[in-house]
């Protein structure tokens, strides 16, 4: 018999339902009370705190870039300045079809076609309401061209800006340098706060070496933005209880250099765009008076932004116009080292003023048949030390090189500043090289090549072989000789100037050890021989001193570019122009009270006395106030 189903208990179910309703109501009232209490706390008791936080979310700090410092020459004439200019900007959200707009701007010559893809990429990765710079420093003709057609380009406009400008263009390109766009690596190493809002930075030369004082520090002001980050007028917001906070930018320091515009122009023009360099120094204090590297380029192209193809053309030019030959170029110094080597030989007793040698036009080491040739095939006959300098007799120096030795050469030439960085306030300076036995052991892995051979000493005595020097080092050598061994730190910057107060702070330099010798009369003998190079009866560069109204001294040099066999003869008309000898010349004037020392290097110029010496003469004439007919 099946069990009887229980009768449903309506009373119990009603009681359970009422209980659940009561509990749910109590929980709801409790939770609503918590929400109400929290709202009261937020909107009444903590209103001020959260209002300030909300205000902070709307306020953005906008950087104000500083004005870059100016650069002046020694006479206060401007070398680098900031000029008002117009740049072309595009706001992506206001442009219906960015690609079409860019194509049409390219067609009217306002932007390069090759840069369109880069602009499109930037428009996709940046906020659409922020402007993108398409061109900096438009010309008057370009401004007019856009103004006429501006209705065809919604969202594109011209904006006034300050742009770096170099009034002398290519004249100072290598020494002043240029500014360029900030790169990713620049942003990683720079102090973000100081460079906020800055788009350009010094890339080479003085602009790069003195970037920190030239740049200054960024300022800022507050702007109001909406929830999307778009800036809105401050008057449209009514939450600020005070005026927005601002901090003015601190302008960069002005820099005064030792360079002379007129002297630089004479040196640059005298080079006639030939490959090479000219450096002029005041031997009394180390001030660089002129520093020319040729050929050059217009730094204004970098300041306004170059296209990829424009930069590629410069970079791939076989004459390397971007290369600073004056401080980075290294060349065999040739016979220009002979005066310094003569001082070393006299000091250690490797020769004396009475010793005479017979120059037949060649020299051989004892026990060897190899001939080291003189530049004069028929030879110079009987010569002493002063004759050897005046006539640049190689054989005399070949002979005494055995007694000097390579390590003594290294020691004394280092004292004259060769083979080491001079410490010039530019960052691209090369060290050059004066070899030694230790240097060879350290730089060659093959044991056989680590041996220093006597023949290497012979060719080092005329500035060939491994020996290398920069034009700056050669000018420093000339200045040291002019000062009878006293050395000054070569430098470009003479003072920093506060643009707000015009207060100048002179730059001081530490002293450099002099070339010390035991017999001071040796200076006069060697310098007298250098004077005869230019103004003696048999001097190699006497043609460069014709009708000179002042006394001068110098030394010519010729450096081989490639090696020749013993039986080969040199005919410059039959070889490629770029394989001809380099022409070098060092000099100083006036002889009795030196005011300027000059070094000239002309690549493949063939003759130091005929090609480089007239350039040095023109520079000295200009500095000493004489009209020059040397070039």
Cis peptide before 172 (omega within 30 of 0): no
Residue 59 has pLDDT above 80, yes or no: no
Domains observed in the chain: 261-308+322-624 (3.40.710.10)
Decide if 523 contacts 559 (C-beta within 8 A).
Answer: no
Distance, in Å, from the CA atom of 319 to the CA atom of 628, rounded to the nearest integer, reads 28
Measured between alpha carbons, how far is residue 206 from residues 39, 259, 278 in Å?
62, 12, 18
**Percent of the chain clearing pLDDT 70 (strictly above):** 87
Model pLDDT, residue 468: 97
Query: Residue 574: pLDDT band by 50, 70, 90 thresholds?
Result: low
Beta-carbon contacts of residue 547 (< 8 Å; ≥ 6 apart): 629
The CB density around residue 459, as the number of other CB atoms within 10 Å, is 19
Across the range 443-462, mean pLDDT stands at 92
Query: Residue 562: pLDDT band by 50, 70, 90 thresholds?
Result: low
Measured between alpha carbons, how far is residue 354 from residues 343, 385, 397, 401 in Å?
15, 8, 15, 17
Decide if 604 contacts 577 (C-beta within 8 A).
Answer: yes
Query: Residue 40: pLDDT band by 50, 70, 90 thresholds?
Result: confident
Helix, strand, coil tally for the chain in percent (to 5): 40, 20, 40
Across the range 70-76, mean pLDDT stands at 97
Mean pLDDT of the residues in the chain: 87
Model pLDDT, residue 3: 59
Decide if 498 contacts 253 (C-beta within 8 A).
Answer: yes
Decide if 353 contacts 523 (C-beta within 8 A).
Answer: no
C-alpha triplet 381, 387, 388: angle, nearest 5°: 80
Model pLDDT, residue 347: 95
Decide if 338 contacts 345 (C-beta within 8 A).
Answer: no
Model pLDDT, residue 611: 94
Model pLDDT, residue 172: 97
Assign 3-class secondary structure to 322-377. CCCHHHHCCECCHHHHHHHHHHHHHHHCCCCCCCCEEECCEECCCCCCCCEECCCC
Beta-carbon contacts of residue 531 (< 8 Å; ≥ 6 apart): 551, 552, 553, 591
Better-scored residue on pLDDT, 573 or 561: 561
Q: In angstroms, how far is CA 465 from the centroid of its own chain? A: 29
**Percent of the chain clearing pLDDT 90 (strictly above):** 56
Across the range 343-355, mean pLDDT stands at 94
Distance, in Å, from the CA atom of 72 to the CA atom of 261, rounded to the nearest integer, reads 10
> Residue written as tokens 């004479």?
266
Query: Residue 157: pLDDT band by 50, 70, 90 thresholds?
Result: confident
Across the range 189-199, mean pLDDT stands at 75
Least confident among 107-111, 237-241, 359-363: 237-241
Distance, in Å, from the CA atom of 540 to the CA atom of 544, rounded to the nearest integer, reads 9
Beta-carbon contacts of residue 254 (< 8 Å; ≥ 6 apart): 69, 70, 71, 72, 496, 497, 498, 499
Model pLDDT, residue 239: 47
Exposure on the CB side of residue 265, measured as CA atoms within 13 A: 8
Least confident among 149-158, 195-204, 227-236, 417-426: 227-236
Q: Is 150 a catalytic residue?
A: no
Model pLDDT, residue 106: 87
Model pLDDT, residue 580: 82
Q: What is the pLDDT of residues 82-129, one digit of tens each?
A: 998 888 888 888 888 888 898 888 888 888 887 788 788 777 766 676
Cα R_g (the chain), whole angstroms = 37
Q: What is the pLDDT of residues 410-448, one digit of tens each?
A: 999 999 999 999 999 998 899 999 999 999 999 998 888
Q: Which helix (H) or strand (E) holds 212?
A: helix 211-215
Query: Residue 161: pLDDT band by 50, 70, 90 thresholds?
Result: confident
C-alpha triplet 260, 265, 271: angle, nearest 5°: 130
Two structure tokens written together for 361: 């036009």
Distance, in Å, from the CA atom of 338 to the CA atom of 335, rounded to the nearest integer, reads 5
Model pLDDT, residue 6: 59
Better-scored residue on pLDDT, 224 or 538: 538
Q: What is the pLDDT of residues 519-535, one digit of tens each?
A: 999 999 999 999 999 99
Phi/psi-derived region of residue 126, left when phi > 0, alpha when psi is between -120 and 50, beta in every other case: beta
Decide if 335 contacts 389 (C-beta within 8 A).
Answer: no
Top-ranked range on mean pLDDT: pick from 20-29, 157-166, 252-261 = 252-261
Q: CA-based diameter of the chain, in Å?
A: 153
Across the range 364-390, mean pLDDT stands at 93
The pTM for the full model equals 0.83
Distance, in Å, from the CA atom of 22 to the CA atom of 20, rounded to the nearest integer, reads 5
Distance, in Å, from the CA atom of 89 to the CA atom of 466, rounded to the nearest integer, reads 54
- The active-site residue out of 85, 136, 258, 335 is 335
Better-scored residue on pLDDT, 21 or 52: 21
Two structure tokens written together for 392: 């640049």
Across the range 259-279, mean pLDDT stands at 97
Residue 208 has pLDDT above 70, yes or no: yes
Query: Residue 212: pLDDT band by 50, 70, 90 thresholds?
Result: very high
């Amino acid at each position: 018999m099946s069990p009887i189903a229980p009768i449903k208990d309506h009373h119990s179910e009603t009681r359970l339902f009422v209980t659940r309703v009561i509990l749910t109501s109590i929980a709801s009232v409790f939770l609503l009370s918590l929400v109400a209490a929290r709202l009261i706390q937020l909107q009444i008791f903590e209103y001020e705190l959260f209002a300030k936080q909300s205000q902070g979310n709307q306020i953005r700090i906008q950087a104000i870039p500083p004005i870059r410092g100016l650069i002046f020459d020694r006479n206060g004439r401007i070398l680098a300045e900031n000029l008002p200019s117009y740049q072309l900007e595009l706001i992506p959200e206001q442009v219906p079809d960015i690609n079409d707009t860019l194509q049409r701007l390219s067609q009217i010559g306002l932007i390069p076609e090759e840069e369109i893809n880069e602009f499109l990429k930037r428009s996709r990765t940046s906020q659409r309401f922020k402007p993108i710079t398409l061109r900096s420093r438009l010309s008057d003709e370009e401004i007019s061209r856009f103004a006429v057609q501006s209705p065809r380009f919604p969202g594109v406009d011209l904006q006034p800006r300050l742009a770096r400008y170099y009034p002398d263009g290519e004249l100072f390109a290598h020494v002043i340098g240029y500014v360029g766009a900030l790169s990713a690596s620049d942003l990683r190493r720079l102090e973000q706060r100081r460079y906020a809002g800055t788009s350009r930075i010094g890339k080479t030369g003085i602009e790069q070496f003195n970037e920190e004082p030239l740049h200054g520090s960024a300022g800022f002001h507050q702007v109001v933005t909406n929830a999307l980050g778009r800036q809105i007028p401050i008057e449209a917001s009514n939450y600020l209880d005070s005026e927005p906070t601002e901090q003015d930018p601190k302008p960069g320091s002005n820099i005064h250099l030792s360079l002379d515009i007129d002297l630089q122009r004479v040196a640059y023009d005298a080079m006639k765009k030939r490959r090479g360099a000219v450096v002029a120094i005041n031997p009394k204090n180390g001030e660089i008076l002129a520093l020319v590297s040729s050929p050059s380029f217009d730094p204004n192209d970098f300041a306004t932004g170059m296209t990829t193809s424009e930069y590629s053309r410069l970079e791939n030019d076989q004459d390397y116009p971007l290369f600073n030959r004056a401080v980075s170029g290294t060349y065999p110094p040739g016979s220009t080292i002979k005066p310094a080597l003569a001082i070393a030989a006299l000091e250690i007793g490797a020769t004396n003023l009475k010793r005479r040698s017979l120059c037949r036009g060649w020299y051989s080491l004892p026990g060897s048949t190899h001939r080291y040739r003189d530049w004069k095939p028929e030879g110079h006959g009987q010569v002493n030390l002063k004759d050897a300098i005046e006539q640049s007799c190689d054989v005399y120096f070949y002979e005494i090189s055995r007694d000097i030795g390579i390590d003594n050469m290294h020691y004394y030439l280092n004292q004259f500043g060769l083979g080491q960085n001079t410490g010039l306030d530019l960052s691209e300076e090369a060290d050059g090289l004066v070899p030694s036995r230790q240097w060879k052991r350290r730089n060659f892995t093959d044991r056989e090549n680590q041996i220093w051979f006597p023949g290497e000493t012979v060719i080092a005595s005329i500035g060939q072989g491994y020996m290398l020097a920069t034009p700056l080092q050669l000018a420093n050598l000339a200045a040291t000789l002019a000062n009878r061994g006293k050395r000054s730190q070569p430098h470009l910057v003479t003072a920093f100037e506060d643009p707000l107060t015009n207060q100048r702070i002179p730059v001081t330099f530490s002293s450099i050890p002099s070339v010390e010798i035991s017999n001071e009369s040796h200076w006069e003998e060697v310098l007298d021989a250098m004077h005869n190079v230019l103004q003696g009866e048999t001097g190699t560069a006497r043609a460069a001193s014709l009708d000179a109204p002042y006394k001068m001294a110098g030394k010519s040099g010729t450096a081989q570019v490639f090696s020749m066999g013993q039986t080969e003869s040199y005919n410059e008309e039959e070889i490629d122009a770029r394989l001809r000898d380099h022409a070098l010349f060092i000099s100083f004037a006036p002889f009795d009270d030196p005011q300027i020392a000059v070094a000239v290097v002309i690549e493949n110029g063939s003759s130091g006395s005929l090609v480089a010496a007239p350039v040095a003469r023109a520079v000295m004439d200009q500095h000493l106030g004489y009209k020059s007919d040397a070039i």
